[in-house]
Amino acid sequence: MIRRIDQRLKDLGLSERAASFDATSKHDAIRNIRRDRSPRIETVIGLAKTLKVSVEWLSTGEESSSTPPLPSNVVAIGREPDMGAVTTVREIDVRAGMGGGGEAGVDYWHDENGNSFPRDAVKEQWQFPTEHIRVKLSTPPEKAVIIEVEGDSMSPTLHSGDHVMINTADTRPSPPGIFAINDGLGLVVKRLEFIPHSEPMTCRVSSDNKHHTEYERSAEELQVIGRVVWFGRKV
């Protein structure tokens, strides 16, 4: 199998670490196969999709007319066989309280950027074309996370039950935009902008629903998780 993986990495111009992360959200998947560790079926399926080959060919070198379905907890977005590498984006098991705030007093999950999310479980794994995230959404694929939102404070822009993708690498509200933040009371999704010439530096936190009042927080009081760059909605 490893010879076929190396062949496809060369053909597609992919690095081992990038392909491993696209396929499994872990950088060492292919390295573990090199160490003669038998991969899980989910790993083989993910690698086959990233490398644009059938599971049968990747496993045995033989072609097959059928391809196993995605695991039940993977949501494929805009994915076609010839679209190239994909990135798996984690949906964090937390709802952004877009009105009353998120839950307080719970354990937090910390990412590599120092951001914190209540509840450390990954609820779903969404798949997007890597270049769509990188180019269309101007987001480093490895810095993207998804959360589900609730409440009406951002209506009509965002509805309760929408899913939003957050660029955790973009934590500075310049230019202003919609951000996921922890304002000291919980995790919320709001519009955020700097107040010019404020001292100490202060941000205006506002809603699109005019029935909700805006408020201000100093930059030190806010923990900005990241900028919202995409949303999905059930029809």
How many folded domains does the chain comprise?
Answer: 2
What is the pTM for the complete model shown? Answer: 0.59
Specify the CATH number for the domain of residue 122: 2.10.109.10
pLDDT, position 154: 94
Q: Domain with 19 in it: what CATH number?
A: 1.10.260.40
In this prediction, residue 2 carries a pLDDT of 87
Residue 107 pLDDT level (bands cut at 50, 70, 90): low
pLDDT of 60: 81
Which of 18, 44, 69 terminates a domain? The answer is 69
Portion of the chain with pLDDT greater than 90, in percent: 24
Domain that holds residue 39: 2-69
Q: Locate 72 and state its tokens.
A: 């039940």
Q: From CA 12, how far away is CA 109, in angstroms rounded?
A: 35
Please tell me whether residues 107 and 185 are part of one structural domain: yes
**pLDDT score recorded for residue 52:** 85
Exposed e or buried b per residue across 81-119, where buried means at least 16 C-beta atoms within 10 angstroms of its C-beta? eeeebbbbbbbbbbbbbbbebbeeeeeebeeeeebebbb
Cα(165)–Cα(227) distance, integer angstroms: 8
How far apart are the C-alpha atoms of 24 and 89, rounded to whole Å? 10
**What per-residue confidence (pLDDT) applies to 44?**
85
CA distance 84 to 140: 16
Q: Is there a contact between 125 and 76 (Cβ–Cβ < 8 Å)?
A: no
137, 166: one domain: yes
Assigned domain for 126 exists? yes
**Backbone φ, ψ for residue 101 (5° rounding):** 90, 160
Span 92-108, average pLDDT: 53
Structural domain contains residue 217: yes
Look at 23-32, 89-98, 165-174 and tell me which has the smallest mean pLDDT. Answer: 89-98
Say yes or no to pLDDT of 98 above 80: no
Tell whether 21 and 114 lie within a shared domain.
Answer: no
pLDDT at 170 over 70: yes
Residue 180 pLDDT greater than 80, yes or no: yes
